[in-house]
Amino acid sequence: MAMREAELTEQLWGDSAGAGVIFVSRVQHLEFSLACRGLVCVSRDRKPNTLVQVAALDVCEQSLLAFSSTEIVQGTRDPLFLTGVAFPPQCPILEETVIKLSVYDVKDKSANNSTFLGSATFSVADLLKSRDQQISLNLRSSDDLEAVGTVVVSRMKMGEIEDGEVDHMATDIQAQKCALVCESLHGTTNDKDYGPLMSALFKNPVCKVYRFQTLDSKWMLVREQMAESTLSFTIPKQLITLHIQEDSRRIQELKDLGELSPHWDNLRREVISRYDQVIRSYQETLEELDKLTGPSFKPSCSKAQKYLEFIPINLHTQRMRVTCPRKTDAFYDIITVGAPAAHFQGFKSGGLQKLLSRYESEKKSYSTAYQCIYYSPEQTAKAREVLGSLSELQPLISSLADRLLQAAQQRSVDALRDTLKSLAEKTEQFVHALKDELVKSALLALHAARPGYISKTQTHTPPPLHLQTEMPQTPSHTGAEPDAAVCINMDEVQTPNKEEQLAAVTLERQDSIPHYKEYDEEEWDRVWASVAKSLNCVIALVDKLQEQDNNNQESTPDQALADVITSHNPSEWREQLSPLVASLKECVTEVGDRAQKSMTFILLQEAVCSIPQGLFLQQRRDVVFSQALSALACGFVMRLYAGLEDKGFLQQLHLVGLVAQFESLLSTYSEEIGMLEDMETGISDLNRVTFRITEAKSDDPAELQPVVSGRRDYYTVEIPLPQQSFQIIPPELQEGKPLQIFPVLFNVGINEQQTIAERFGDISLQERINQRNFEILDGYFKTLSDKVPSECLPCFQTQMDVKELLETLGQNVVTKKRKNVEILWLAGTICRRLNGIRFTSCKSAKDRTSMSVTLEQCALLRDEHQLSKDYFIRALDCMRSRLAQGEAAQWDDPEAGSVANHKPASRHFYPIALLLVSSHLLVVWLILSLVFLLAKYQ
C-alpha cells in the first residue's frame, strides 16, 4: 500500500506540474461512485479482480489530500463497485482539485500481489459540469500507448437524486439492468450531518458511501459517518474538578466537627491526609489533561497511561443514513466505546463488583478494630444525601426569606404570596430531609466522641462504641407534635398576637452539642420542630397582613383609596415580619449545622473503617464512572439532536425518559471478567445521572458544550441548545425538568476465550447481568406503555411487537445456550423500537465491536430497507473491506494515524475442534495455555 501511495503521489505531481490555478468556490460533500467497463487484463484469458485506488491532489497546495479505495470485485471485466468515494467537509476540495483513479488487478489479496492496469485523471469541475454529473474516462496503461477500458464516475447525492432512471449499469452477477433510482426529497440530509450543532461536539468525521440493490432491483444509497467527540475529554475534566471540590469540602467539614477525643482526632487527621493525597493526584491528572492537544479520543494503546485513565477508550459516534426509492431518508446511530473499566489499575484482584463486595465484608472487622460504628452502604448514602440537601436548601431558604422581606417592604401582595409559597415548599423539604432516626443517632454518637463525655448512667467507664445499626427509637416529648408542626395548612392556623408570636419562636440557643454534661436525647426533636413552628408563625402573620389589607380596600371609598395607601408606612409590613423571618433563618442555620456535623461524623467513621481500601475503591469507581458518563452524554446529545423535530420523542423524553442499552462483547475469562465487573458497576452508577436542557447564551461552539454539576451521589448534565432549537421543544423541557435515563447492560462473549469459559469456566456473572437488566428493561417498557401513546414510538417494517420481543428476550436470558447472540440482537432491536440510545463495547472498541456494528447495519438494511439477499454478503464485505484485507485503515480502526504499537494478536488458543480429536492433546493444550497465562500475568 505504501508503494502504491508513493507511485500515485509521483504521478499526480507529474500531471499537475506547471499547471495554472484559477480559484473557484469550494465544493461541499463531494461523493461519487465508480464502475469500469471492458477492462483488458494482461492475461487475455482471465477476468481481473478489480480494485480502484483514488487519490486527490490540491493543485493550489501541491499536496495529497486523501486516499481511498473501492472493494475488490472478482472475476469480471465490467465491475460495478458498491463502495463509493466520499470527501467530508474538512477536506478542502475545490473545483480545480485533480483526482486520479488507478485500477489494479489483485491476483492475491492476502499477499498484496497486484498488477497495475491503467489510470485516468479528471478535475472536480469536469464532474460537476458534465451532463447528469457523470463522466466516462478512458483508462490508459502505464506506457500510455493503449486504452485498457473505461471508468464511469457518477456523483452521488444523498436524498437529492432526481426521480426517474438516471443511469443503467450492467451487473455481472445477474446480467441485468439495474436503475440507480432515488425519489426526490425536499432539502438535503447533509445539513444534519455536518451542521453547526453537530460540529460543535463531533469532530473529524470520516465517511464511506455505498450503493446496494434492493429486492425490486432499485438502488439504495448508504452513508456511514464516524466521528470523534469532544466529550471524551470535556466530561472527565469536569468530573475531576467536581471530585476535587467535593473532597475539599469534605476536609473542611471534618475540620468543622470541632473538638474530638484524642482517639477520634488522630483518626480524623489520618482521613484528612488521605483525602489530600487523592486531591493532589486528581489535580496532577487535570493538569496533564489540560496540556493535551490533537485527536479527541484515547486510543487503546494508551490504556496504560495513568493521566488518561478517566478518558474512555475509542469513543466514537457512528451514523448510517439510508436513501431508498420512494421512501424518506432513515438514519441509525450507535456509539462505540471501549469497556468502561480501570484498565490502568489492572484486574488481578477482580473488578469493582467483586472488590466492593469484599470491601463491605472487611469493613465490619475494621469498624471493630478502630472502635467505629458500622454503617451500611444505604446509611452512608443517606448521609451524603442529607449533606447534599443541606448544601442546596439552606442558601435557598435564606435567599427566599430575604426576598419575602423585600416584597413586604414594597407591599406587593402578589410577590409576597408567591415568595411565601416557595419558602414554605423549600422549608418543608428541609424539615423532611432531616426527619430521620439516622440524624438523631449520629448526634448521640458524635456526643460520645467529644472529650469528657458523661453517659446517662453516670458511670465512669466509656460507653460501648459498637452501637447497633438499628437506631434506637426515642420517644418524642410532644407525641405527634413534629408531624403536626410540619403541616402548614393556612386555613387552620390561628392568627396569634404579637406577643404570642415572639414567644412561640423563642428557643434555647446553644452553640453546639454540650461537651461536658449529660446528652439530652430530646433536644434534637425540639430544635428540629422549631423550624416548622417558625415557618407557621411567618405564614400566619402574612395571612393576617393580607387580610387587613383586603378589609381596608373593601371599606374605603374609591376616591379615598389612594390617600389611605399613601398614609400607611411602606416599611410597616417589613418591621412586623423581620423578627419572625430572622428567627426562622436562625432555626434553619442551627438545625443545619447540627445535622451537617452528625452526617459528617458518619462519613468520618466510614472513611476510618475503609482504611486502606476505601479511598482506592472510590478512585477506581470515579475512573469507571467517568468513562461511562462520557459515553452516555455523547449518546444522549446525539439522540437529542436527531429528535428535536420529533414531537413523539420529545413527549417520551420528558414523561418517562430514555433507555440506554449497552451491548458488551466481553468474555467471562481471565482479565475480561474484571473489566465486565467494572463495567457493570459503572453502568449501574449512571442511574444517579439526570439530564436537563437549557438555552445556550450564543451559537458559539464553546457555549454548546454540556455542563456537569452535582456530587458523587447525584449528577446533572445540562445540554445547551441554540435559541432557535430551544424554542421548538415542549415547555416542560424548556423549564429544565430533570430527564431520566434507564441504563441497561447485556453481555455475550463471542471470542475464543468465551469458548473456554463456557466449556471449563464460569459464566454466572454474564447470566446474572443479563437477567437483572432484562427486568429493568421490562419495567421501563411497562412504565412507557402506561404514560406514552404507542404513536410516539418509531415505526419499523418488521411487524413483531415490542411486547413479543421482550417475551422472547426473557426466554433467552434464562436459556442455557452457548454464545447466545440472540440476546444482543433482541436487546438492540427493542432499544431502537423504544427510541433508545445504542452502545456497543468490547475491550478496546475495535475488532469485535466493528464486526458487531457492521453486521447490525447490514441486518437493518435487509429488514427495514429490502436489501437484496444476493447483496447481503457483498454489503457486509464492503463495510468490512479493510478488515478482510488485513489493513489498518482509518475507518475500521479509529486509532489509525495515532501512535499505536500494532502487536500481533495472541494465537495460543488453538481451535477447539482440532484439539478435541484427542483427549491427550486437549490436556497438553490446557497445560500450555495455563503456563502461558501465568507467565503473562507474573
List the helix and strand counts (H, then E) for the chain.
Answer: 29, 20
CA-closest candidate to residue 403, choices 389, 423, 378: 423
Strand pairing category for 147-155 and 330-336? unpaired
- 8 Å CB contact between 34 and 134: no
Q: DSSP letter string over 457-470?
A: T--SSPPPS---SS
Rounded distance between C-alpha atoms, residue 252 and residue 851, angstroms: 51
Rounded distance between C-alpha atoms, residue 881 and residue 887, angstroms: 9
End-to-end CA distance of the chain: 39
- Which residue type sits at 443? L
CA-closest candidate to residue 298, choices 286, 290, 282, 310: 310
326-344 burial code (b ≥16 CB/10 A, e <16): ebebbebbbbbbbbbbbbb
CA-closest candidate to residue 720, choices 739, 738, 696, 702: 696
Sign of CA dihedral 352, 354, 360, 365: negative
User: How far, CA to CA in Å, does 46 sit from each of 42, 170, 171, 382, 547?
Assistant: 9, 19, 18, 77, 103
Rounded distance between C-alpha atoms, residue 825 and residue 838, angstroms: 12
Rounded distance between C-alpha atoms, residue 62 and residue 43, angstroms: 37
Rounded distance between C-alpha atoms, residue 121 and residue 103, angstroms: 12
Rounded distance between C-alpha atoms, residue 225 and residue 601, angstroms: 53
Rounded distance between C-alpha atoms, residue 902 and residue 921, angstroms: 31
H or E, element range at 697: none
Longest dimension (CA), the chain: 114
CA-closest candidate to residue 271, choices 286, 298, 253: 253
- Report helix, strand or coil for 336: strand
Distance, CA of 344 to chain centre: 21
Q: What are phi and psi of 144, to 5 degrees?
A: 60, 30
- 8 Å CB contact between 314 and 299: yes
> Grid coordinates representing 213?
440493490
- Which residue type sits at 286? L
558-570 burial code (b ≥16 CB/10 A, e <16): eeeeeeeeeeeee
Q: Which positions are catalytic?
A: 842
CA-closest candidate to residue 316, choices 202, 228, 223, 225: 228
Q: How many CB atoms lie within 10 A of CB 187?
A: 10
CA-closest candidate to residue 827, choices 911, 771, 789, 760: 771
Residue entry with cell 474512555? 312
Contacts of 931 (CB under 8 A, 6+ apart): none
Rounded distance between C-alpha atoms, residue 251 and residue 259, angstroms: 15
Residue entry with cell 458498491? 82
Half-sphere exposure at residue 511, Cβ-oriented, CA atoms within 13 angstroms: 4
Residue entry with cell 395571612? 543
Strand pairing category for 707-711 and 658-664? unpaired
- 8 Å CB contact between 278 and 615: yes
